Amino acid sequence: MPIELIIPLGAFLASFVVAAAGFGDALVLGAIWFQFVDPKDAVPLIVACGFSMHTLPLIRLRKDLDFSYLPVFAVMGIFGIPLGVWFLSHIAPAPFRLGVGWFLISYILFIFAMPRGLKITGGGKVADGLIGFTGGVLGGFAGLSGVTPTLWAGLRAWPKARQRGVYQPFCLIMHGATFAWLSWQGLVNEETLVRLLWALPAIVAGTWLGLILYRKLDDKRFRQLILGLILISGIALIL
Q: For the segment 166-197, what is each residue's pLDDT rounded down to a tens digit?
A: 988 998 998 888 888 888 888 888 888 999 99
CA 217 – CA 212 distance, rounded (Å): 10
| pLDDT cut 70: percent of the chain above it | 95
Mind listing the pLDDT tens digit for each residue in 196-215?
A: 999 999 999 999 999 998 88
pTM for this model (two decimals): 0.78
Mind listing the pLDDT tens digit for each residue in 56-99?
A: 889 988 888 999 999 999 999 999 988 988 887 777 767 777 87
User: What's the domain range around 123?
Assistant: 3-238
User: How many domains does the structure of the chain reveal?
Assistant: 1
CA 194 – CA 204 distance, rounded (Å): 17
Average pLDDT value for residue range 208-230: 82
